[in-house]
Amino acid sequence: MSFGDPNNPYGPPPQQPSPGAPGYGYPQQPQAPGYGYPAAPGFGGGYPAPPAVMPGSVKAARVMLFILGGCQAIIGLLMMIASAWFADYFSEIASDDPSISAEDADAVASFGAGVMIFFGVLVLGFAFWAIFTGVKFASGRGGVRISAIIYASFVTLFSVISLLGANVFALISLVLGILIIVFCANKNGSYWFNRPQY
């Protein structure tokens, strides 16, 4: 009679693993260091990757877009409102000249008002472009970055033209346009707009 025979009913019972030993009841899973929970695939420690935070320079570019867009919206509305005043002004000037008929005076006034309304709508379009691009900064991709750089390039160009016409206030929009280009084109802008989307 041998105690090592597992079929012997009179022998000692076979050794059972202790409850803390690996293999007790079910196979043990690998655990994350220091947490006591199984490690999940993906980011280390079983936790998802933290959301990306918008860099400060990109936030600054976004604020500048809102500022430029807001100022342009006000200017565009003022231009459209002032078109009626310009029409009256042109009509009065034309009526003071005896060589200009009343029909010609009205035509000049209507043309002047039309020009003001056209440029007012154009400026409002630029304002919408800036504000919409700024709104899309939070979730946008590379297309939003390109849109911001193109918009800022137009602002810079028109600011330089205005400076040549002795408009010193164009210095503000010139500086803002250049900063938007720099902040969107640098490595922080590249990081933000090319970040992985979850």
Tell me whether residue 104 is in a domain.
yes
85-101 residue pLDDT tens: 877 777 777 667 667 77
Q: Looking at the domain assignment, is residue 176 inside a domain?
A: yes
C-alpha 171: how far from its chain's center? Answer: 24
CA 90 to chain centre: 43
Q: At 44, is the secondary structure helix, strand, or coil?
A: helix
d(CA 96, CA 17): 113
In a domain, 2, yes or no: no
162 in any annotated domain = yes
Reported confidence tier of residue 83, pLDDT bands at 50, 70, 90:
confident
Q: Is residue 115 part of a domain?
A: yes
Write phi, then psi, for 31 (nearest 5 degrees).
-110, 150
CB-based contact 105:91 (threshold 8 Å): yes
User: In this predicted model, what pLDDT tens digit does every residue of 98-117 receive, in sequence order?
Assistant: 677 777 777 777 887 888 89
Give dist(CA 198, CA 194) in Å, integer: 12
| Per-range mean pLDDT, top range of 53-62, 111-120, 163-172 | 53-62
Fill in the DSSP letter of residue 31: B
- CA atoms of 130 and 141, how far apart (whole Å): 16
CB of 120 closer than 8 Å to CB of 77:
yes
Q: How far apart are CA 174 and CA 152, in angstroms?
A: 9
In a domain, 7, yes or no: no
> Is residue 155 predicted with pLDDT exceeding 60?
yes
The residue to which tokens 């090319």 are assigned: 194
Enclosing domain of residue 116:
56-193
Nearest by Cα to 77 from 69, 87, 65, 89: 69
Q: How many domains is the chain partitioned into structurally? A: 1
Q: Is residue 177 part of a domain?
A: yes
Q: What's residue 27's pLDDT? A: 54
Q: Is residue 13 part of a domain?
A: no
Task: Summarize the confidence of residues 160-164 as an average pLDDT.
Answer: 91
- The per-residue pLDDT for 145 is 92
**Per-residue pLDDT at 34 exceeds 50:** no
